[in-house]
């Protein structure tokens, strides 16, 4: 993917509608927001030039179509609003809520509560992927997540499994999980892509370099937004080569994974660059360290307000799903945000 366009000059609400009607802007990922300008990004190191959408050179027009078109329907979920994914860590050591749901009964209760509060998808994980975390053996991971997934799915809750291990993917899908969410973008386990292809299930490919134990050493970028986009494009190509349909793929820029605070803050305002990939964008900023740095809040569970601000910022720049700890607050914030944009 050598040629990219980066949407700029974002417009929202009635101004977006008017600018589109007058030929001055194009919809951002199908709307309701729009963009009037783009930055042209080729393989050169220098930042590309900025031009109006009507003046984009012919070589970049295919990229322009990708960022303006609505991503295809994904995982059978609504596409008319940002979706909410609830984080359910069945672990003793996750960075924000480790241990809170380590007991299966408590985890099941929490997952049902998330669904009642408005979670479109409950993401069940049994391995901490915080920086410097040691790996969890797949059999232990399965023992943690499978009973929870089975119970939630039996109650009609849409469930994803947060894992990078093929054995866990297979067991979770058999227990009723609908989606695989892999922080390694199917690169960690050589059998993972085959499991997803055989199941023909939706999958989230997240950007990361290295693994949770080493990723903090690989936060070196010349242009983080462009490099993340191109590295995710390579993972999409690998998934398609393994038999996974592009329409089944969503992408996650991996905020905090092989990225320090500076890279997170540089990437989020340019999130719409990922729309060049033609896949829905999932963003997880909830309670992350860069929010603590901005807010002066060292305690992760107290970063809810900052998480809402960062999540809505991501939605404004093209995120189709927000992965969050605080489901009820996020669902309410999204409703108000949509109302302010005149979307009801």
Q: Which is catalytic among the residues 209, 323, 335, 338?
A: 323
Distance (Å) of CA 94 to CA 101, 104, 144, 278, 309: 10, 16, 13, 31, 22
323 is annotated as an active-site residue:
yes
Residue with tokens 């960022």: 67
For residues 16 and 306, what is the distance between their CA atoms, to the nearest angstrom?
27
Q: Which two tokens stand for residue 324?
A: 């969050």
Rounded CA-CA distance 155/150 in Å is: 9
**The three-state (H, E, C) secondary structure of 47-61, written as one string:** CCCEEEHHHCCHHHH
CA distances in angstroms from 305 to 265, 280, 283, 308, 336, listed in the order given: 17, 25, 16, 5, 15
Active-site annotation holds for 259: no
Task: Determine how many CB atoms are found less than 10 A away from the CB of residue 174.
Answer: 12
- Cβ pair 40, 48 in contact under 8 A: yes
178, 209, 288, 303: which is the annotated catalytic residue?
288
DSSP H helical segments within the chain, as ranges? 14-21, 61-68, 104-117, 138-154, 166-175, 192-199, 224-241, 261-267, 289-295, 304-316, 327-340
Distance CA 295, CA 289 (A): 10
Residue 4, SS3 per DSSP? strand
Give 316's DSSP letter. H
Report strand pairing: 282-283 vs 249-252. unpaired
Positions marked catalytic: 288, 323
């Amino acid at each position: 993917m050598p040629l990219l366009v980066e949407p700029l000059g974002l417009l929202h609400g009635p101004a977006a509608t008017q600018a589109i009607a007058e030929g001055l802007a194009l919809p951002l990922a199908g709307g309701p927001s729009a963009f009037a300008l783009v930055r042209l990004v080729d393989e050169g190191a220098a930042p590309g030039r900025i031009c109006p959408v009507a003046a984009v050179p012919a070589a970049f027009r295919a990229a322009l179509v990708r960022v303006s078109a609505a991503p295809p329907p994904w995982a059978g979920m609504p596409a008319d609003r940002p979706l909410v994914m609830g984080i359910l860590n069945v672990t003793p050591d996750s960075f924000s809520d480790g241990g809170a749901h380590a007991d299966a009964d408590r985890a099941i209760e929490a997952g049902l509560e998330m669904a009642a509060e408005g979670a479109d998808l409950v993401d069940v994980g049994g391995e901490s992927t915080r920086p410097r975390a040691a790996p969890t053996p797949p059999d232990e991971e399965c023992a943690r997540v499978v009973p929870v997934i089975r119970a939630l799915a039996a109650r009609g809750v849409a469930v994803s499994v947060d894992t990078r291990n093929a054995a866990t993917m297979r067991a979770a899908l058999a227990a009723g999980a609908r989606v695989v969410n892999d922080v390694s973008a199917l690169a960690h386990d050589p059998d993972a892509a085959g499991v997803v292809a055989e199941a023909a299930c939706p999958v989230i490919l997240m950007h990361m370099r290295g693994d949770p134990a080493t990723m903090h050493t690989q936060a070196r970028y010349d242009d983080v937004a462009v490099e993340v986009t191109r590295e995710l494009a390579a993972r999409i190509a690998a998934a398609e080569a393994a038999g996974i349909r592009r329409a089944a793929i969503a992408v996650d820029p991996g905020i905090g994974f092989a990225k320090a605070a500076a890279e997170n803050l540089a990437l989020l305002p340019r999130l719409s660059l990922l729309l060049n990939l033609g896949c829905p964008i999932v963003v997880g900023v909830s309670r992350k360290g860069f929010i603590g740095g901005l807010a002066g809040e060292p305690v992760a569970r107290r970063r809810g307000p900052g998480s809402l601000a960062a999540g809505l910022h991501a939605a404004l720049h093209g995120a189709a799903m927000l992965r969050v700890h605080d489901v009820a607050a996020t669902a309410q914030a999204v409703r108000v945000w949509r109302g302010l944009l005149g979307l009801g």
